[in-house]
Amino acid sequence: LQAARAGRQVALWARDADRAAAIAAAGENARYLPGAALPPGLLVTADLGAALAGAEAAILAVPAQHLRAMLPRLLPHLADPAPPLVLAAKGVERGTLLLPLEVVAAVLPGAAAAVLSGPNFAHEVAAGLPAAAVLAAADPALRERLAALLATPEFRLYGSDDPMGAQVGGAAKNVIAIAAGAVIGAGLGENARAALVTRGVAELSRLAMALGGRAETAAGLSGLGDLLLTASGPASRNTSLGIALGRGEALAAVLAGRVGVTEGVATAPALVARAAAAGVELPICEAVAALLDGRLTVAAAMARLLSRPRRDE
Ligand SMILES: NC(=O)C1=CN([C@@H]2O[C@H](COP(=O)(O)OP(=O)(O)OC[C@H]3O[C@@H](n4cnc5c(N)ncnc54)[C@H](O)[C@@H]3O)[C@@H](O)[C@H]2O)C=CC1
Ligand SMILES: O=C(CO)COP(=O)(O)O
């Protein structure tokens, strides 16, 4: 919707032909983004070749755990030179512990790709409400090219040459938001939430730097900015999951009742493992991973965090 608002001719690809037809007929994606009217010229198709024909860029907005499976499907339909890929997924791949750009590099070596991240609830962007985001890529020409395709005054795009920092921020904020939700659900108060969010930024900053990113990125839109948004309340799927867990609901029951992905669930253990491999400790993310796999209750997780040795901030 944002690309269409920026004046681009847009094709929306859906895996399932019946679903694509239903979305086209309804003029909205009633399952995933109800209430957001698709603009009249937008093509909805299950034919990936048709969706990619003449494309200047391809935005991949699939959950992080499904990005790898999507990439080989694109390959037969990519022109030469291939359009750059814009990665919206915020997470770490389980098993490989790879971040989205690393998954692309592994499956499609040499493909031009950038990370799109920041505090951007899809329903608000779809409604045309003001927002800012980061386009992160090492290549300045690629950042500029993609920004020219996607930016409007309401959707303010900042470039970043720190894609690692942007990816770590996007992945980690989902996990920390679960923690923030859990303290709210358990009635532990706003002070505890603010402490977790702030110390959460310290965690994502440490990991980003250990992986070659920069501390400033952690304080920007794709780090602190997205965490502020995500951890601010139940509009976030990650925070609302945390709230439910904090209230004592079972993870499986909460997940069974929702449609879209809650990225922090799969990402928490992968993020912690990636950090451990880099020699970085992430106490809050570790507590969330333990909470999700039933090793700790919210109360025990909080007690563990509070009993860590005192040190300087
Ligand atoms: N919803 C939001 O406000 C934002 C989401 N993101 C990130 O974008 C990614 C996607 O998020 P949402 O669109 O919200 O998730 P969602 O779960 O609501 O929708 C995912 C979409 O991907 C499709 N999909 C699922 N598995 C697939 C597969 N194996 N192959 C192809 N397509 C598949 C689904 O049919 C659906 O259209 C996540 O990593 C999320 O963190 C980033 C910014 C904002
Ligand atoms: O990434 C998001 C906002 O920037 C969406 O957050 P949730 O997936 O927690 O809803």
User: In CATH, what number is assigned to the domain containing residue 233?
Assistant: 1.10.1040.10
Tell me, yes or no, whether 197 and 113 share the same domain: no
What's CA 31's distance to the chain center, in Å?
19
Tell me, yes or no, whether 155 and 27 share the same domain: yes
Residue found by looking up tokens 């900015």 in the block: 225
pLDDT on residue 261: 98
pLDDT on residue 223: 98
Q: Which residues does a 6 A CB cutoff place in the pocket of ligand 2?
A: 90, 119-121, 174, 177, 226, 229-230, 236-238, 263
Tell me, yes or no, whether 301 and 185 share the same domain: yes
Domain-embedded: residue 312: no
Distance separating alpha carbons of residues 20 and 202, to the nearest angstrom: 42
The per-residue pLDDT for range 234-246, each reduced to its tens digit, is: 999 999 999 999 9
The per-residue pLDDT for range 15-31, each reduced to its tens digit, is: 999 999 999 999 999 99
Domain-embedded: residue 25: yes
Residue found by looking up tokens 């909470």 in the block: 291
Among 163, 190, 221, identify where a domain stops.
Answer: 163
Tell me which H or E stretch contains 289. helix 283-292
Number of structural domains found in the chain: 2
Distance separating alpha carbons of residues 91 and 102, to the nearest angstrom: 12
Q: What pTM value is reported for the model?
A: 0.98
173 is annotated as an active-site residue: yes
Expressed as residue numbers, the domain containing 200 is 164-306
Tell me, yes or no, whether 297 and 169 share the same domain: yes
Helices (H), the chain: 2-5, 17-26, 48-52, 67-74, 100-107, 122-126, 140-150, 163-185, 190-210, 215-218, 226-230, 237-246, 251-256, 263-277, 283-292, 298-306
Tell me, yes or no, whether 126 and 189 share the same domain: no
| Burial class, 22, CB count within 10 angstroms (exposed 0-12 / middle 13-18 / buried 19+) | middle
pLDDT on residue 288: 98
Residue 206 corresponds to which tokens in the numbers above? Answer: 């440490």
Tell me, yes or no, whether 208 and 186 share the same domain: yes
Domain-embedded: residue 202: yes
Structure ipTM over 0.90, yes or no? yes
pLDDT on residue 33: 97
**Of 173, 193, 206, 274, which residue is the catalytic one?**
173
Q: How far is CA 115 from CA 32, 38, 99, 195, in A?
A: 22, 24, 10, 28
CATH code assigned at 123: 3.40.50.720
Domain-embedded: residue 135: yes
Q: Provide the CB-side half-sphere exposure for 231 (13 A, CA).
A: 30
For the packed helices 263-277 and 237-246, what is the interaxial angle rounded to 10 degrees? 90
Instruction: With H, G, I as helix, E, B as strand and everything else as coil, classify residue 8.
Output: coil
Tell me, yes or no, whether 43 and 187 share the same domain: no
Q: Considering every ligand atom, which ligand is closest to the CA of 237? A: 2
**Which of 134, 174, 222, 267 to mutate for ligand 2's pocket (most ligand atoms within 8 Å of CB)?**
174
Tell me, yes or no, whether 83 and 153 share the same domain: yes
**Which of 237, 241, 265, 288 to mutate for ligand 2's pocket (most ligand atoms within 8 Å of CB)?**
237
Residue found by looking up tokens 């007929």 in the block: 25
Domain-embedded: residue 38: yes
Tell me, yes or no, whether 180 and 275 share the same domain: yes
Cβ atoms within 10 Å, residue 273? 15
Tell me, yes or no, whether 52 and 38 share the same domain: yes
Among 163, 180, 213, identify where a domain stops.
Answer: 163
Ligand 1 center to 88 CA (angstroms): 8
Distance separating alpha carbons of residues 111 and 88, to the nearest angstrom: 16
Query: If you count DSSP H runs as helices and E runs as strands, how many of each does the chain have, helices first?
Result: 16, 7
Spans of the chain, pLDDT less than 70: none
Distance separating alpha carbons of residues 42 and 23, to the nearest angstrom: 11
Tell me, yes or no, whether 136 and 215 share the same domain: no
pLDDT on residue 22: 98
Domain-embedded: residue 311: no
Among 148, 163, 178, identify where a domain stops.
Answer: 163
Q: How far is CA 71 from CA 16, 67, 68, in A?
A: 17, 7, 6
Residue found by looking up tokens 């490989």 in the block: 96
Domain-embedded: residue 139: yes
Domain-embedded: residue 198: yes
pLDDT on residue 133: 98
Tell me, yes or no, whether 138 and 176 share the same domain: no
